[in-house]
Structure 1
Amino acid sequence: MQETRIVNSLLGRVGRALEPVTQAAGFDWKINVALLSSFAARESSVATLGVLFQQEEGGAQTLEQRMGEAMSHEHAALVALSLIVFFAIYPPCLATAIMVRIQTASTGWMLFSIVFPTILGLLLASAVYTAGVRYQVDALTMMAGFWTTALVLLLIIGLWPRRRSTPPPRLAEDTGGA
């Protein structure tokens, strides 16, 4: 009975409606609900997953074991990795988004701080999951490849030579005068 209430709740319906968008990252409606609830506070995502992936009376399985059984496919580790990637980029919680609005005095920046990381996180999580499934790469190899690629891109961007828009200031002795 509790499962039926969860499935038919507002968050359950929204989570199921988002499945076509998030299935490329391997997310099902339960993970979508956890992501939506984590917008209030990041910590709530684990508790939400614990409720959604319920265990039988008297069971002593961990959340990871219950999620692995519920997913019942060989790509459960890739789903976990894509979820980690998504959470690394996912937008800040609601309180932080409100502070962005207050500090910038702009609703546009607040919406940007929510929408951009969500889209970028979903694209990267989908790329990790899809590449892992397509090329039959295990989750540990995909994780190492993803973070190595991220580090290399960060170094390239950080060390890329920049053009100066204005010439450097000249010293008084360079001008020939005092």
Structure 2
Amino acid sequence: MTHRFFGLIILLGVLLAIFQTIFSWAAVPMDLMDQGFGALADTVRSSMPEGILADLLADGIIAGVGGVLVFLPQILLLFLFISILEDSGYMARAAFLMDKLMSRVGLHGKAFLPLISSFACAIPGIMATRTIENTRDRFATILIAPFMSCSARLPIYTLMIAAFFSSQLVFGFLSLGAVIMLGMYLLGIVVAILAAFIFKRTILKAPPPPFIMEMPPYRMPNVRTVVQNMLERSWLFVKRAGTVILAISIILWALAYFPRSAQPSAITDTDNAGRIAESQQLANSYAGMLGHAIEPVIAPLGFDWKIGVALIASFAAREVVVSTLSIIYSVGKDADESSETLLSAIRNAKRDDGSAAFTPLTAITLMVFFVLAMQCMSTMAVVRRETNSWKWPLFMVAYMTALAYVGALITYQGGKLLGFG
């Protein structure tokens, strides 16, 4: 298990099995929770008179908090497997294996676990940095954890790949979509390594601490200990959803809700009228105004104001991009990344001047932006709590947004120069 070659192969196999299990086992409970929150929102809306209060409860509070709690099954499973690996004695050996690689960029071997955890969600990954004793090493790990492509990015990757790269093969047998997906994960890892290397030699400069860890004996995990660790860590996630996330969800809902625009009256198809009303409301809302305001800034990335609105809304949670695009292209907010109606709307979307709003290059650029951007209020909230300061979360948002912009700019403009525009 600690062999410098075979140990890494075994570790890779363990991690692949864990992530495959997390994504497959969590799918059903996540869908059920999503449907449950949707049903709760519908119940609230049907039992209350139409108006601001009903919309706030259904679309602001229930949808906002529910959109975060829907990831609880993945987080429960992640902490379940982490607790099993810790209690069995294997996690100490994994940290030992990774210490040499981590030390080359100035990180402690114990940073391995938080970074791996961040592939499911950066929030438990950041909370897992508590095992790192040195404050500078801990903060360096926190600052790079969001670069790991979490599950909230998957709907964006899936939507863009399905719209423009489905059924395409590389070398005659490899799916182009799978290659692009892998490329996004690798991009996040490479940038995280470079960022850690820079941080540990500048603002968080400190000599790498010696890696001293007692190798515990292998043993069967204690069921009570595993369950207790899983529930305690997951409860911290749930508590956060009731505080900071609730407040920010209401703010973002208000930006998309006000000012109210008139309902279209010339359309007899009720469903179509409702979708167009949602689209018009979002376009004329404060969020839409912000989208128009930032359009000159994001235009060099190949993005128009509609994508700008999605970028603003995605700060609530990255996957909100899908529902925002569904609304703004009059598909309906219930469409998901596999909806053929939404995929067709994305492919055929036009700018105000009649040119295509989305191209394969735009899709790649958008994915690159979300790999590097810290578009997650939940992560920002937990960084504030873990560092006990607003300085670090604000710094994280600033430097990751700048990196995302530069990365997207290079991708789009470079692609145009190479003739992919």
Compute the TM-score of the two structures, normalised by the length of structure 1.
0.69
Q: Structure 2 CA distance, aligned partners of 1:90 and 1:106?
A: 21
* Counterpart selection for 2:289 from 13, 35, 39: 13
Counterpart selection for 2:417 from 121, 134, 138: 134
Number of residue pairs matched?
135
Q: Look up the match of 1:40.
A: 316
Q: For residues 49-60 of structure 1, what are the structure 2 equivalents within 5 Å?
A: 49-55=325-331
Residues 127-176 of structure 1 show CA distances to partners (whole Å, capped at 9, x for unaligned) of 111111122037xxxxxxxxxxxxxxxxxxxxxxxxxxxxxxxxxxxxxx
Equivalents in 1 of 2:364, 2:343: separation in Å? 13
Partner SS state of residue 63, structure 1: helix
Distance 1:54 1:116, change over 3 A: same
What residue identity is the alignment partner of 1:37? A
Alpha-carbon deviations, 1:30-58, whole Å to 9, x = none?
Answer: 111111111111221111111111249xx
Could you tell me which amino acid in structure 1 is paired with residue 310 of structure 2?
Answer: A
Structure having greater relative contact order (Cα 8 Å, sep ≥ 6) = 1
**In structure 2, distance between residues paired with 1:110 and 1:74:** 33
Contact 2:346 2:358 in 1 (8 A): no
- 2:357 and 2:303 mapped to 1: Cα distance? 14
- Rate the CA distance shift 1:75–1:36 in 2: closer, same or farther, 3 A: closer
After superposition, the Cα gap between the structure-2 partners of 1:105 and 1:68, relative to the gap in structure 1 and judged at 3 Å, is same
Q: Is 1:95 aligned to 2:374, yes or no? A: no
Which residue identity does 2:364 align to in structure 1?
L
Aligned-residue identity in percent: 37
Take 2:331 and 2:301, find their aligned partners in 1: how far apart are those partners? 25
- Matches of 1:68 and 1:92, distance apart in 2: 24
Report the Cα offset of residue 105 of structure 1.
1.4
Distance 1:121 1:48, change over 3 A: same
Residue matched to 1:62: 341
Q: CA deviation at 1:100?
A: 0.7
Q: What's 1:155 paired with?
A: none
Task: Measure how far apart 1:4 and its partner are.
Answer: 3.3
In structure 1, the residue matched to 2:356 is 73
Q: Which runs of 5+ in 2 are unaligned?
A: 1-263, 265-276, 333-338
**Which secondary structure state, in structure 2, belongs to the residue aligned with residue 62 of structure 1?**
helix
